[in-house]
Chains A and B, each alone.
Chain A
Amino acid sequence: MVTNFACLQTTLHNFVLFFTITFLVQFKTHSYLCFIKILKSSVTLFTMETEQKSIRALKCEQSVLSRADGSVMFSQGNTVVMASVYGPLEAKIQKELSDRMYVEVNYKPKTGMPGVAERGKEKLIKTTCNHIILTNLHPRTAVCITIQEMQDGGTLLSASINAVCLALLDSGLPLQCLVAAVTCLVDKKDKIILDPCIRTVKEGYKAMFTFAFDSQKYNLILSHCEGQVPYQLFQEAMELCQKASHIIFDFYRQAVLRKFSKELL
């Protein structure tokens, strides 16, 4: 297990969260929580009213692009992203890995050149993809994943991960599991809002979390947090997102069902 803590602080009552954790090895949410519990020893428990526990409408169109091996236009509420997958391709010599596939992720912003923020997202998506794709089945090859931001509805990162998952499904690359990402934020009144819309995000928040879970045991694959909230809230938010991820997995199932509907109907 590898974890990167950018910054970690423990105060008496508040558990300060400002870090990004990427798991290269999947492990149970429970153990993740234990792990965090070890880090903070004395935390008073908060009981929170969590209000908005909804996920916005999901829509997708698979194989939207005629040239890509797999592609999807995905919307989650007002957030729209497009993802494409080309692969397995011949890898460039510098990028070639002898034992597995090289995963290249390009995240394209709507305006301007990709900068540091985009590279950060690319890295998160890349590690997630490395986890879900059975990369060792195609050594010395590459897969090229491109994500195009089309409409910002507040939850670009989680929508991107979900779109990539759908595009990978569409491309037919062998996957170990599926992944569903859910974003939630803690607003200024300490309420947890699931899948916030752009207006809510712009109003300001205490913390924003994005979690990604796998489809087998709903274990945590990725956790990206920014902001500062009590630990209890973090735990609650994660559990909430975990529950919400079930809807996305159901949605995936329906999407695939639609794609191959003729066999079922």
Chain B
Amino acid sequence: MKIIGLIITIVTGAFLVYAAADFPAWADPNSPASTYLSPYFIENSMKDTSVPNFVTSLLADYRGFDTMFETTVIFTAGLVCFILLRISGRKEPETSHYRHVLTGVTVTLKEGRKIPASEDFERIDDLWTPPDLIIKTGCRLMIPFIQLFGLYVIAHGHSSPGGGFQGGVILGASIILLAISHDLRTALERMREKVVAILCPVGVAIYAGTGTLCLLLGVNFLDYSALASVLHVDPIAARSHGIFMVEIGVGIAVMTTMIWIYNNISSAGKYNQGL
């Protein structure tokens, strides 16, 4: 196998090197890629969409259709992880352990009995390790700021690096951080599985819905300029707003998907205390 791999690799590599001979040199301002289409985007982005960040305008407007499916890919990934891993309708184990938070005494209950949810007791599993107080507290402090920053990144995508994907990932990371620093159950209390699973399609649906709204308003799919009539602004500003709407959708979808994938993979679909 190794030999075959080596041969294939060398042959392919040699072929690619051979092909690279005709490529323009690195950072050549006159390469076709830099002279054919990109000038149009750079020069007209402001005029067409009044979005200073060309990447954003290109991402969400000129090639907004790609981006919609990109978001769908994310959603698909979350769904596949769920459908592959989630163990549904699984009954509780016979013995369950609860830990008294203040004293640290662990109670073990048989025949699947439960302790009514209270502040003093936390449910733990066999592979429970004592959590580090510093990490817990530190993360608790950081998480709100992380989320705030995530919102900023989404909102400010128009005129600075950022946008729905980046902001969404940051938001998702905040919840995942909670799950890592405490345990999955704590995170799930903040954000239930059902909420995640419904918000995720909703996020993408916001994107597609915006496009469909334009379609219903009588122009082509994703042609935000039609929103002008709804938002009572000029078509160019309408495009900018349309881009913002879809960015929000992207943000929601990406955040929830990140959480969804983490929940399923970290607990192998059992949704116990996780890592």
The answer on A and B forming one complex is no
